[in-house]
Each structure stands twice: as structure tokens, then as C-alpha cells.
Amino acid sequence: MKKINWFSRLFMSWSSLEEYMKQDGSNKEEVTNLEKELITVKANAESKTAILADQKETILDLRTRLNNNENKRNELAQVINKIEAKLSSKSDEVLEKDLRLERQNEQISSLKSQILERKNDLEALKVEINDKLTPLNKIEKTFFGKTGNKGKGELGEMQLKTLLQKSGLDENIWQENLVVGKNNVEFAIQSGNDDGKWIPIDSKVLDAEYDEDSKLIVDEKYKKRVLAQVKSITKYLGKSNTAEYGLLVLQSDSIYMTLYNEFPSFFKEVIEEHKVYITSPSSFVQITWSIANIIKIYERVHKDKLIYDEMISVLESITKFSNKMAETHKAFNIAMTTHYPTIQKKQEKLVRKLEKEGKIKELPVLN
């Protein structure tokens, strides 16, 4: 039998193998063995073909996966580029934010200093406002926090003190909390008399009513309340340091005029029976100024009187001196006309005697 190597057999076609077998002229046994061998080779070839096919599919699958991975890598690269771009943008934004924060910190620092400065200003303003709110608090307590006449009295005293302070009067003309016996009168002014006594003053805020048209109502009831206040002043009158009359200041000019129009004789009756003059705030200021002018005139007259008395004393001294000089002059004239000739004769006689004795040569003669 003609042998064929394995490699030649592997790549020999089936028809070529059959032709080769025929040409060889081998026996049937050899053909049978060869057929078996061919079947085995064929089976191996088919197995190898299947393996190659599987490998090709594997290679295709790997290439597909590789392509997919490449696509994913490209996608990832794009994503990374986008992220880097965003990070770069974020970095710029962060830097810009840092700059903004730095500027804001500077602004905040400036604002803090301004706030501290304003706080100090507010503290000073608070103190000033509290000082100015003190009278308002008194008013609030008067109308909303107190009952009875005490609160009205405090408001009236505050109004009266303001009138006295704003009137421009000298402080020695009016006095606060004057001791009158066992009592204290809130305010008093000088009477302007020689005795130096004080005029007691009182002021109360007496609530008035208004009608539907906002017109002030001052009726008999209100007049009685004013009269009660007048009577409360009489305890200060006629004491060792107070005058025989006093003043009641109503809280407003409008109430004073309305009361006067409604009860014109009431004011005269109060003066005659209780020696208290009822005035309005504006009239009170005029009264105080009139008293102040009287005091100034009195002081001027008193000062002028002192000057006049001093001038009289000087003139009297001059007159006495003149009289003394006249008497002296008269006595001198008498001496010159009466006694001088005798003195001259005696002097001449004495001179002649001395000349004779040789004690003197010559003396001047008085003519």
C-alpha cells in the first residue's frame, strides 16, 4: 500500500484521495483501513472546523466587545472631558466666589464698624429720648395710670414749671417748693413789695368735656371744681412769708375764655371772697413779667435813692466845708485889719532895739 503523510492527507480533497486509491490498486483490506482512516480524518476535520467556527465566533464576539469597549472608552473620554470642563468652570466659579466672599467679608467688616458706630449713636439717642420721654411718661401716668387729683396736679405743676422756665424770668423772682408753715406750695413768685413776700401759685389740669361738634363744655359742675381748687390755695395765703392773695393758673387759654364767657362774675367773686386770681397761661406770663418789671423798677428806684442820699451827704459835706472856709476867711480878715497894725508896731520897736544893741543889722519889714 502506498503511504501518504498526514499533512498531505489532511489537505487532499476527497476525489483526489479516491483517485489516488484507485491508482494504487491496493486490496480491499487496505481500502477498508484507509476508509476508516479517512472517516477518522474527516471526523477530526469536522471537529477542527467546528472548533475554528467557534473560535471565529469567539473572535467576532471579542471584536464586538472590543468595539463596544472602544465606544465606551470614547464615551468615557467625552464624559471625562465634560467633567474636566465642568471642573474648570467650577474652579473659575469657586475662584470668583472666593473673590466675592472676600469682597463681602470686607463689606461685612465695614458694616460692622458702621453698626458699632450707629449703635453708639443709638445709645446716645436712647439716653436723649429717655430724657425727653420723662414728661411724656408723666402725662401717660396722669391720663392712664393714675386716678384722682394727684396725677392732674403733677401735670399742672409740670406745665406751670415749663411756663416759668420759658418765660425768661430771673431765677430769684420765682421759687419752687416754698415752705409755708407746715405746708409746701409748689411754686411762688415775688410780690414786688418792700416786705419781700411771695405769691403762692397753683395749677391743676381739670378735665373738660366736649360736645358732638368738638365744642368745649364748661358748665356749673366744672366751675365747682375750679372753686374747690381755689379754696385749696387759701391755706397758703397771709402767712409770714406769703402775700394776702394767690394765683390759680388754668391749663389752657380756651378753657379760661370759655369759663369767663359762661360765668363772668365768678372771677370777681373768687377775688373778693378768697383773694385768689384765676388766670390763663398767657395772662400768667404777662403777670409775672409785670411783677418782674415792678421789682426791677423798685430796685432801680432803691438804687437811685441810695445814689441821691450819697449825693446829699457829699453836698452837705461840701456845704459844711464851705461854711468853715468862710468862717476861717472872716477870722483872717478880722486879724489882718485889727491885730496886724499892733503886731507891726511891736516888730518895728523890737528891731530898733536889736539894732542899737548891735545884735542884728537889719530885718525885713512886713508890709
Q: For residue 345, report the phi and psi dihedrals to the nearest 5 degrees.
A: -65, -40
DSSP β-ladder status, 246-249 and 276-279? parallel
Distance CA 82, CA 72 (A): 15
> H-helix or E-strand containing 314?
helix 281-334
Q: For residue 3, is pLDDT > 70?
A: no
> Contact 241/197 with Cβ under 8 angstroms?
yes
Distance CA 204, CA 226 (A): 9
Write down the pLDDT at residue 196.
Answer: 76
Q: Phi-psi region for residue 199, left (φ > 0), alpha (ψ -120 to 50) or beta? A: beta
**Of 217, 180, 176, 173, residue with least CA distance to 196:** 173
- Band (141; pLDDT cuts 50, 70, 90): very low
> How much is the pTM?
0.42
Write down the pLDDT at residue 119.
Answer: 78
Identify residue 92 by its one-letter amino acid code.
D
Contacts 24+ apart (CB under 8 A), 21-26: 26/1, 26/2
E runs forming strands in 123-215: 174-180, 183-190, 198-203, 209-210
pLDDT, the chain, mean: 71
SS3 360: coil
Q: For residue 241, report the phi and psi dihedrals to the nearest 5 degrees.
A: -120, 10
Q: For residue 181, is pLDDT > 70?
A: yes
Q: Phi-psi region for residue 165, left (φ > 0), alpha (ψ -120 to 50) or beta? A: alpha
pLDDT one-digit tens code per residue, 53-75: 888 888 888 888 888 888 888 88
**Of 231, 214, 224, 230, residue with least CA distance to 263:** 224
**Lookup result for grid cell 387759654:** 253
Region of poorest pLDDT, from 105-109, 224-228, 246-250, 289-293: 289-293
pLDDT one-digit tens code per residue, 212-238: 666 777 788 888 888 888 888 888 888
- Band (14; pLDDT cuts 50, 70, 90): low
**Of 171, 200, 170, residue with least CA distance to 188:** 200
Q: How many CA atoms lie within 13 A of 362 on its CB side?
A: 2
Write down the pLDDT at residue 308.
Answer: 44
Report in angstroms the alpha-carbon separations of 67 from 53, 56, 59, 262: 20, 16, 12, 117
Distance CA 215, CA 213 (A): 5
Other CB atoms closer than 10 Å to residue 161's CB: what's the count?
Answer: 15
Distance CA 31, CA 18 (A): 10
> Contact 279/255 with Cβ under 8 angstroms?
no
Distance CA 121, CA 133 (A): 18
Write down the pLDDT at residue 341.
Answer: 60
Q: For residue 318, is pLDDT > 50?
A: no
Residue range 159-187: mean pLDDT, rounded: 78
> Contact 158/186 with Cβ under 8 angstroms?
no
The two counts, helices (H) then strands (E), for the chain are 9, 7
For the chain, which residues make up each domain, given as ranges? 24-142, 169-300
**Of 281, 219, 233, 287, residue with least CA distance to 256:** 281
Q: For residue 152, is pLDDT > 60?
A: no
Q: Phi-psi region for residue 168, left (φ > 0), alpha (ψ -120 to 50) or beta? A: left
DSSP of 34-61: HHHHHHHHHHHHHHHHHHHHHHHHHHHH
